[in-house]
Structure 1
Amino acid sequence: MIHARLTAAALCGIALLLALPARAQAVPASASAQAPAAAVPAPRATDAALPDQALAMRAIQALPEVRRKAAEFDAARARADMRSIGNQEAQVTWIPQDRRVQDGTHYREWELDINKSVRWPNKYLLDTRIGQLGVEAARLGFEDSHHAGARLLLMQWSAWLRAGSDAAVSARIATLIEQERAMVARRVHAGDAAQKDLLAADAALAEARASAIEAGLAEQSARRTLAATFPTLPLPQRVPRVENPPALAGAAAQWQARIVDVSHEIGMARSTAEQREVEARRARADRVPDPVVGVRVLSDLGGREKVYGVILGLPLGFRYRGAQAAEAGAQAQAAAQDLSLVTREVHLSAAQVVTQAEALHALWRQRALAQTAATASLEKTRRAYALGEAGISEVLLAAQGASKADQAAGRAAVDALYAVERVAVDAHARWHRHAEAAHDGADHDADASPAGNAGAVKLPTLGE
């Protein structure tokens, strides 16, 4: 009777040990709180030359790069669940056997072993935290893919605007040269101009038409590239024209601070560095191996002997575990240096894009002044030619100067718009969830699977 009670008590103790990880997992570790990001600058109205916010967001979310990161985010959450659950599965061993003795007696015997590795509670907490940080890094990677998609859209859309501006200028110059050629032809017919003037006008017209064809092909190529990359984004029939690009509102230092504050690259590097540090702590904790506990039941001599036992085991291999801890510690130091490197690069990039936005707007203003002066010079030269005070070569030279000035001004306007919008995109004030929430006040579910809906990807909320 005493033996039976001791056996029952041992079995109860083993059951409690086996249940420890399951009970601990019912209380997940809380995620670390993040410092709130600086307030998003109030987004100004979208420029008429840019796509609508809702259409742009839909096109960016449909990118395969974004959907791939959404799938990786789901995979990271699955890995976090795996770490929280642990791989300490129970093992059942059933050993049936026959015993034959010399006198011919035959006994059927069996042995049943049930054992399980039990994870220490501190290891469970570390594993849970590693999983949380992995999810955070994957979520920020998903966010960064959306940000990269916004950059790509802005770059390809601006390339289309620039090509369209060149095509429009080339077409206008070809029309102008055609008008000049008609005027020269009339004067030649009237005997007021030499035949060589008509030949010069024909050559200039052919060159202008060739330039218009080349510019048109470039515009069509840019349009095809944009349509292929963002097939869900409707494109207007005519290329929008940038009339008056906006200047960068606010102080440059504030924009730089904002870009750094919301940087996904820094967030990913920070989460990865912390994850490597926790993994190093986990490796150091693993130098104390997890015990193996279980029960053992034997039936010998055809059931006439019953044996009940408790299994207690401890894996060996301390030198290998020490080397693992040293390797994990080195990885943590490398990740910390990666964070410093990424932070430095983001600071430099933020300063460059803000400075470029201010400089390119100033450049456009000068290009616009040069365009006005070149146009006025062309008009005066044309009037002088009509009065016989200037030759056709002077008119064609003035037209060439006006063409270059017009083209440079058009490109400068597009570049200025691109630079300002690049700052807005990097600051999450354009084509980003924050900007979208500012428009419609919509809340976003951080727990929703980004890849769960093939029609519309839900973005996790930054900072939760």
Structure 2
Amino acid sequence: MKTAGVLQYSVMLRAALVPLAVLLAALPARAQDYPPELPPLALLQAAIDGAPEVRAAQALREGGEAERRQLVAGPHEWTVNADYGRRRARDAGATERTAEWEVAIQRPLRLPGKADLDRRLGDLRDAAAELSLADARHETARAVLAAWYDWLREQTAAGVLQAQAGSAAREAAAVSRRSELGDASRLDAMQAAAAAAQASAAARLAEGRAAATAASLRQRYPELVLPDRPLLADPPTPGAELEGLVATALAHDHGLLLARSVADRAHVDSLRAAAERRPDPTFGVRYGRERDSAEHVVGAYVSIPLGGEYRSAAADVARAGAAASAEQARAAERRLAAELRARHEMVIASHAHWRLAEDSATRLAEAADRLALAQRLGEAPLAEVLFARRQALDAALQASAARIDALAEQANLRLAAHRLWEGDGDGDHGE
């Protein structure tokens, strides 16, 4: 046969990508940042916002606003006390019975410094809830991309194996016909039929894996629509903008911003605990009547708790927690910087790997075609042709997987830098 199954698949794929390349060339530069192999952006954002993790973070976001109002209002409330009694007094042998009652209202008063710290804590917790929502959206977007590229990987592998199975079936039919005409041995026909059956079985298994991955993707993200034939463009060549993406991702990572927010909140918590060593005073007023209202009593009072070792220890605990949170934020920054640097190197390496794998697949497919031609001319045994076909198939599968890996690495780096689609940024919808 003049063209191997892997070459047929490659030609079909490139032919399908020609109109896509023309369309992308006509779009604005920023629109091209969104990879064409991903689902439509509206569906991706719907899948992100519909995820239970994001909805839970949205609920907690509303709780963060309520917590801010709670801290601004303070924990102290008015308390009303009422007291009623009957007095019995004996004077010169006579017994006098009178009614007495008293009403008091009191409230602890938060010291001004504590109120300011509580307002700062409220703002920080509200901001942390907002960051948690953004982080949940970002992590969900990463999960959607991972699941989508897993499906693409299985789908493209199934396409390669289906093309190879069709090619092997046609080749087996041709060898069988030649065997009937006496131009090929019966052993060749048996070997060709066995190779065709093996290719068919591998294609069926790959179809099953692709179907299982698709079912899992649909179940997790029902908002997504899976195309019958996904279009895969060539991974863009990494350029100088990668360094900028790494720096942007480090500056805007929600997880890191959240860790820093936790450290800031712990610092203010420690200041608040230190301020609590000065207890809040309680002020109150009271009014009462004694001796059947013959006497009226009006008064005011103040009570001040005397702080002890408990408050001092609580301040020390909060101060130690603040120091630990600050170090954890630094550790998170180092860890993220290492991950982003590794991802930067993986983008470059995966692109180079795809180029080499694609070149190897093309050369091995051409070699298998030449060997098949030589076999038809009686210059090579069929066993060598079948071995060359297997090598070409393995190379085509590696090239297919390398293409998806290269696309996924670039998409994930752009997602981390909030440059995957136009308008993607802090607080944007879907991010």
Please say whether Structure 1 and Structure 2 have the same fold, judged by a TM-score greater than 0.5. Answer: yes
For 2:287 and 2:159, how far apart are their aligned partners in 1? 90
Aligned residue number for residue 424 of structure 1? 414
CA distance in 2, matches of 1:87, 1:435: 40
> What is the RMSD of the two structures over their aligned residues, measured on CA atoms?
1.8
Does 2:133 align with 1:151? no
Shift of 1:317: 3.4
1:79 lines up with 2:67 in the alignment: yes
The amino acid that maps onto 2:56 is R
Tell me the residue number matched to 2:397. 407
Aligned 1:31-50 pairs, distance under 5 A: 42=30, 44-50=32-38
How far the C-alpha of 1:42 sits from its partner, in A, is 4.6
Shift of 1:57: 1.1
Could you tell me which of 435, 438, 441 is aligned with 2:424?
A: 435
Residues in 2 aligned to 1:346 and 1:316: alpha-carbon distance in whole angstroms: 47
Superposition deviation, residue 47 in structure 1: 2.8
Q: Which amino acid aligns with 1:53?
A: L
8 Å CA contact 1:157–1:226 kept in 2: the answer is: yes
Instruction: Judge which range, 51-60 or 336-345, deviates more.
Output: 51-60
| TM-superposition CA deviations, 1:66-121 (whole Å, max 9, x none) | 11111111111111111110111010001122223343433221111111000001
Which residue of structure 2 aligns with residue 12 of structure 1? none
From the superposition, tell whether residues 289 and 127 of structure 1 become closer, same or farther in structure 2 (CA, over 3 Å): same
Aligned to 1:166: 157
Residue identity in the other structure for 1:218: R
Alignment match, 2:242: 252
Q: Deviations over 1:179-216 (max 9, x none)?
A: 11111101110112221111211221121111011100
Shift of 1:362: 0.8
Name the SS of the counterpart of 1:295 in structure 2. strand
Find the residue that maps to 1:110 and give its secondary structure.
Answer: strand
1:232 aligns with 2:223: yes
Q: Distance in 2 between matches of 1:67 and 1:110?
A: 55
CA distance in 1, matches of 2:304, 2:97: 37
Q: Residue 100 of structure 1 corresponds to which residue in structure 2? A: 88
- Name the counterpart of 2:196: 205
Q: How far off its partner does 1:48 sit?
A: 2.5
Report Cα offsets for 1:396-455 as digits up to 9, x if no partner: 1111111111111111111110011011100011258x3289xxxxx96xxxxxxxxxxx
Q: Sequence identity, in percent?
A: 32
1:307-327 CA-to-partner distances (Å, cap 9, x unmatched) read 111110001232111011000
Aligned counterparts of 2:415 and 2:34: Cα–Cα separation in 1: 12
1:384 Cα deviation from its structure 2 partner: 1.1
Once the two structures are superposed, residues 13-61 of structure 1 have per-residue CA deviations (whole angstroms, 9 ceiling, x without a partner) of: xxxxxxxxxxxxxxxxxxxxxxxxxxxx956343321112222111111
Uncovered stretches (5+) of structure 2, i.e. residues with no partner = 1-28
The yes-or-no answer on 1:299 pairing with 2:308 is no
Using a 3 Å threshold, how does the CA distance of structure 1 residues 270 and 72 change in structure 2: closer, same or farther? Answer: same
* Alpha-carbon distance between aligned partners in 1 of 2:316 and 2:401, rounded to the nearest angstrom: 56
1:308 aligns to what SS in structure 2?
A: strand
Distance 1:247 1:229, change over 3 A: farther
SS in 1 for 2:69: helix
| Within-5 A mapping of 1:237-386 | 237-238=228-229, 240-386=230-376
Query: How far, CA to CA, are the matches of 2:208 and 2:375 in structure 1?
Result: 34
User: Which of 108, 116, 131 in structure 2 is aligned with 1:117?
Assistant: 108
Contact 2:33–2:421 (Cα < 8 Å) also in 1: no
- Find the aligned partners of 2:300 and 2:233 in 1 and give their Cα distance: 84
Q: What is the alpha-carbon distance in structure 2 between the residues aligned to residue 166 and residue 204 of structure 1?
A: 18
Task: Look up the SS of the partner of 2:305 in the other structure.
Answer: coil
Q: What is the alpha-carbon distance in structure 2 between the residues aligned to residue 352 and residue 213 of structure 1?
A: 36
Partner of 1:60: 48
Given that residues 350 and 402 in structure 2 are in contact (C-alpha distance below 8 angstroms), is that contact kept between their aligned partners in structure 1?
A: yes
Greater shift, 386-395 or 303-312, is seen at 386-395
Q: Is the 8 A contact 2:114 2:272 kept in 1?
A: yes
Which letter does structure 1 place at the counterpart of 2:101?
Answer: W
User: Match of 2:12?
Assistant: none
Q: 3-state DSSP class of the match of 1:231? A: coil
1:91: which partner in 2? 79
Equivalenced residues, count? 400
Q: Hey, what does 1:447 align to over in structure 2?
A: none
Match of 2:11 in 1: none
CA–CA separation in structure 1 for the residues paired with 2:155 and 2:240: 30
Query: How far apart are the structure 2 equivalents of 1:80 and 1:45?
Result: 38
The SS at the match of 1:389 is coil
Quick check: 1:113–1:295 contact (8 Å CA) kept in 2? yes
Whether the 8 Å CA contact 2:36–2:233 is kept in 1: the answer is no
Matched residue type, 2:192: A
What's 2:177 paired with? 186
Instruction: Check the 8 A contact 1:53/1:430 in 2, yes or no.
Output: no
Q: Distance in 2 between matches of 1:98 and 1:181?
A: 113
In the alignment, the residues of structure 1 paired with residue 198 and residue 341 of structure 2 have an alpha-carbon distance, to the nearest angstrom, of: 42
Conservation of the 8 A alpha-carbon contact between 1:247 and 1:420: no
TM-score, normalization by structure 1? 0.83
5 Å-filtered alignment, 1:127-138, equals 127-138=118-129
Any idea what SS the aligned residue of 2:248 has? helix
**Secondary structure at the residue paired with 1:266?**
helix
* 1:107-155 deviation line (CA, Å, top 9, x unaligned): 2211111110000011000011011111111211111111111111111
Change (3 A) 1:426 1:233: same
TM-score by length of 2: 0.89
Counterpart Cα distance in 2 of 1:55 and 1:247: 27
> Equivalent residue for 1:215?
206
Q: Distance in 1 between matches of 2:236 and 2:107?
A: 67
